[in-house]
Amino acid sequence: MLRLRSLRRASVVGALGVALLGAACTSNDGTTTAQAPAAPATTSSASSSGTFGEACAAVPSSGPGSLADMAQDPVATAASNTPALSTLATAVKEAGLVGTLNGARDITVFAPTNEAFGALPKATLDKALGDPKGLLTTVLTYHVVEGKLSPDQLAGTHKTLQGGSLEVTGSGEDFKVNGGSSVVCGNVQTANATVYVIDKVLLPKS
């Protein structure tokens, strides 16, 4: 079981990114006709890499933090290069778990954004910070599931490394975790994990 022992707040910056896809039209009968002015390109929530979600809007096209770069790095390293996950990355680093996460094989991580951590009630966050070996570890390991889940495997009940279960509902590009946390950027690949970025921190049942 992965053990995350400490957490500090980090600034909220950026989100992950997605490509724009164009659209084209042809006539019904296949004949050649005078071409009307091209329609504006439309925006799709899915990229050619298979990622999806509106929060995928600002990933760099190349270099650190790009989808191609993250796919080459293990998950802790990939998170450290992703501004929107800086709070999570800080937690991993401070807990001394970079090697543990990077060495894990085939996991799925439901990764709360910086905004998700910032939205926690102060009393809840302070309580977790005051109990790094107990409550904090319990909450953070609840976000990790064994196996690299593809979108068509995502819906259902999944056992977490914390020992409890979480429930994913939805299909296509619209998923919720435990009924209240939405996947805002999904199917992000790292060398050893599939990451689904979520907009609320998941709290296991006590």
- The amino acid that residue 4 corresponds to is L
- Do 198 and 183 touch, CB atoms closer than 8 A? yes
Q: Are 62 and 68 in contact (CB under 8 A)?
A: yes
Domain span at residue 177?
54-198
Q: What is the DSSP letter of 55?
A: G
**pLDDT tens, the chain, 206 aa long:** 444 333 444 333 333 333 322 333 333 444 433 343 333 333 334 556 699 998 887 677 788 888 889 999 999 899 999 888 988 887 777 666 777 788 899 999 999 999 998 998 988 877 877 777 778 778 888 999 999 999 999 999 999 988 999 999 999 999 999 999 999 999 999 999 999 999 999 999 86
Q: Is 18 contained in some domain?
A: no
Identify any residues that bridge with 156 across adjacent strands, giving them in sequence order.
168
**98 inside domain:** yes
Please list the residues that pair with 171 across neighbouring strands.
174
Q: Number of folded domains in the chain?
A: 1
**Does any domain span residue 193?**
yes
- The reply to whether 114 falls in a domain is yes
Q: Which residues contact 196 (CB under 8 A, 6 or more apart)?
A: 108, 109, 110, 111, 154, 175, 177, 183, 185, 186, 187, 188
CATH of the domain at 92: 2.30.180.10
CA 139 to chain centre: 16
- Establish if 111 belongs to a structural domain: yes
- Report the largest interatomic distance among the alpha carbons of the chain, rounded to a whole angstrom: 71
What proportions of the chain, in percent to the nearest 5, are helix, strand and coil?
30, 20, 50
Cα–Cα distance measured from residue 19 to residue 34, given in angstroms and rounded to the nearest whole number: 30
128 within domain boundaries: yes
Name the E strands within the chain.
Answer: 107-112, 144-146, 156-159, 165-171, 174-177, 181-189, 193-198
Whole-angstrom Cα distance, residue 114 to residue 169? 23
- Answer whether residue 45 is part of any domain: no
Q: What is the amino acid identity at position 108?
A: T
pLDDT of residue 35: 40
